[in-house]
């Protein structure tokens, strides 16, 4: 990183720490790496089910100041009412759910009482608040959006695969609103960071004026690494891991257990399937049995990765890049993925991982690893080398830092910014 110090304000719809799913890992990884060089203040919305003390302590490990605003009251009825409101509103469900007076007041206070060179916004859902004029007399900082996915496209894909009629109606009505809000953010923010060149190219095709940079997802290569104290691969466990309350993961798991696993189980009677992740649905839990384990949330995924023979990523919808692939590779575990699952990663099919897109192909690819330990070791070693060279948090944060400086993070004033709006 460069010899300069920037005052950064991170704004997010949920806290980065302690991380339990991919978006949090990206936020924490980038912010903790940036904070070694630049003072970071963080403003996050926190839901009632989280332990605020634990959240604040975890974030203070790398943040100079932490400000937490309470989310809307949860519950199924409250969510359904908000979804009904969203159907007749010009705003998306996500924007309505995060329309918080307390959040706007706290953002206004921070901008009025602190000097910031740049505001880093996670996801586009709070873009309208971040783009509001700063308090009188306050210099406008740069505004940079961290686009974890192209959100409207993810919602569009979800609408196409949703089977429940009410959810399909909601998603079909909601994704065009997300599209309008997201593309407006691409136009109006000073810069947008994307997780992959594919996402950046999609954004440029939609908004040619977007000032884009690719800041890839990454992994802590010291924490995720083969270690003597971890279990050894058992030669028979096929592992899927990820947040199971995330629709692309639910869709992928159901594809796995309904179509891929029967073929794999029949061809390899000794193998077993392990599904690790928070909030498994009843539909997924129904597949538990002697050869299928659904663990729910675990405190540390590394022992499960270390003991697995192979990790499978059977995703059929999504965007960005997959932490599950990077973390499995960092642990030197072989990966079998769909083309979309590995999208955006500079991984070589057949050398760093195996790729297949239908049930028979995925089952055959996993079977190759189960029956050929040497292939599994070679894939694992190549994947570990790839993440060490290309996907560390320090490298990703360095790219973001250089982007901020190229935008003039130390010299933007209100007059200079007028032309960007």
- For 246, half-sphere exposure in the C-beta direction (CA atoms, 13 angstrom radius) is 20
Q: Region 266-291: what's the mean pLDDT?
A: 93
Question: How do residues 111-153 score in pLDDT, each as one tens digit?
Answer: 999 899 999 999 999 999 999 888 887 788 999 999 999 999 9
pLDDT, position 332 = 96
Identify the residue with better confidence: 60 or 163: 60
pLDDT, position 415 = 36
Question: How do residues 368-391 score in pLDDT, each as one tens digit?
Answer: 999 999 999 999 999 999 999 889
Residues 255 and 341 in one domain: yes
The domain that holds 212 is classified in CATH as: 3.40.50.2000
Residues 283 and 414 in one domain: no
Residue 43's φ and ψ, nearest 5 degrees, are -120, 120
pLDDT, position 201 = 95
Residue 251 lies in a domain: yes
Q: Region 161-166: what's the mean pLDDT?
A: 73
- Residue whose pair of structure tokens reads 């890992």 in the numeric block: 25
pLDDT, position 168 = 80
Number of structural domains (the chain) is 2
Residue 224 lies in a domain: no
Which of 155-159, 232-236, 289-293, 333-337 comes out lowest in average pLDDT? Answer: 155-159
Residues 136 and 281 in one domain: no
Residue 420 pLDDT exceeds 60: no
Is residue 125 within 8 Å of residue 152, measured between CB atoms? no
Nearest by Cα to 311 from 250, 251, 354: 354
Residue 269 lies in a domain: yes
Q: Region 90-102: what's the mean pLDDT?
A: 92
pLDDT, position 157 = 83
Residue 134 lies in a domain: yes
Residues 48 and 153 in one domain: yes
Residues 139 and 212 in one domain: yes
Residue 223 lies in a domain: no
Nearest by Cα to 354 from 326, 374, 378, 334: 334
Domain of 30? 8-218+393-420
Residue 46 lies in a domain: yes
CA distance 77 to 167: 15
**pLDDT level of residue 421 (50, 70, 90 thresholds):** very low
Q: Region 384-403: what's the mean pLDDT?
A: 93
Residues 38 and 169 in one domain: yes
Residue 226 lies in a domain: no
Residues 275 and 302 in one domain: yes
DSSP bridge pairs for 311? 239, 335
Average pLDDT, rounded, for the chain: 90
Residue 123 lies in a domain: yes
Residues 294 and 378 in one domain: yes
Identify the residue with better confidence: 421 or 116: 116
Is residue 363 within 8 Å of residue 271, measured between CB atoms? no
pLDDT, position 319 = 63
Residue 186 pLDDT exceeds 90: yes
Residues 138 and 241 in one domain: no
Question: How do residues 33-51 score in pLDDT, each as one tens digit?
Answer: 999 999 999 999 999 889 9
Percent above pLDDT 70 for the chain: 95
Per-position DSSP letters for 370-404, written without gaps between them: HH-HHHHHHHHHHHHHHHHHH-BHHHHHHHHHHHH
Examine residue 18 and say whether the peptide bond preceding it is cis (omega within 30 degrees of 0).
yes
Which of 13-17, 297-301, 395-399 comes out lowest in average pLDDT? Answer: 297-301
pLDDT, position 1 = 44
pLDDT, position 410 = 53
Residues 202 and 252 in one domain: no
Structure tokens belonging to residue 108: 């206004």
Identify the residue with better confidence: 170 or 256: 256
Is residue 332 within 8 Å of residue 226, measured between CB atoms? yes
Residues 317 and 383 in one domain: yes
Residues 384 and 402 in one domain: no
Nearest by Cα to 312 from 247, 268, 249, 232: 249
Residue 320 pLDDT exceeds 70: no
């Amino acid at each position: 990183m460069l010899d300069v110090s920037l005052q950064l304000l991170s704004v997010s719809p949920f806290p980065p720490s302690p991380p339990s799913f991919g978006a949090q890992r990206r936020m924490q990884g980038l912010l903790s790496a940036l904070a070694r060089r630049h003072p970071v203040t963080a403003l996050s919305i926190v839901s009632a089910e989280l332990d605020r003390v634990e959240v604040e302590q975890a974030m203070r490990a790398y943040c100079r100041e932490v400000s937490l605003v309470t989310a809307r009251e949860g519950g199924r009825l409250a969510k359904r009412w908000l979804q009904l409101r969203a159907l007749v509103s010009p705003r998306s469900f996500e924007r309505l759910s995060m329309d918080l007076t307390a959040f706007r007041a706290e953002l206004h206070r921070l901008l009025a009482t602190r000097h910031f060179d740049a505001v880093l916004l996670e996801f586009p859902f709070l873009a309208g608040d971040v783009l509001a004029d700063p308090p009188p007399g306050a210099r406008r900082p740069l505004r940079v959006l961290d686009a974890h996915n192209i959100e409207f496209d993810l919602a569009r894909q979800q609408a196409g695969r949703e089977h429940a009629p009410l959810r399909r109606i909601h998603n079909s009505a909601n994704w065009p609103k997300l599209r309008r809000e997201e593309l407006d953010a691409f136009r109006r923010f000073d810069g947008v960071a994307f997780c992959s060149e594919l996402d950046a190219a999609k954004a440029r095709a939609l908004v040619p004026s977007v000032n884009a940079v690719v800041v890839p997802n990454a992994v802590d290569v010291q924490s995720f690494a083969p270690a003597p104290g971890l279990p050894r691969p058992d030669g028979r466990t096929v592992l899927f891991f990820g947040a199971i309350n995330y629709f692309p993961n639910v869709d992928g798991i159901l594809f796995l257990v309904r179509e891929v696993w029967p073929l794999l189980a029949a061809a390899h009677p000794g193998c077993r399937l392990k599904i690790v992740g928070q909030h498994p649905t009843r539909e997924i839990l129904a597949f538990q049995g002697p050869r299928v384990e659904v663990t729910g949330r675990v405190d540390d995924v590394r022992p499960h990765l270390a003991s697995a023979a192979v990790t499978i990523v059977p995703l059929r919808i999504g965007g960005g890049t997959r932490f599950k692939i990077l973390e499995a590779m960092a642990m030197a575990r072989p990966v079998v993925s769909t083309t979309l699952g590995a999208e955006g990663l500079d991984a070589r099919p057949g050398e760093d991982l195996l790729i297949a897109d239908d049930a028979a192909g995925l089952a055959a690819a996993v079977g190759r690893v189960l029956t050929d330990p040497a292939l599994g070791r070679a894939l694992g070693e190549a994947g570990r080398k790839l993440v060490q060279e290309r996907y560390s948090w320090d490298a990703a944060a360095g790219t973001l830092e250089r982007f901020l400086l190229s935008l003039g993070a130390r010299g933007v004033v209100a007059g200079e910014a007028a032309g960007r709006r």
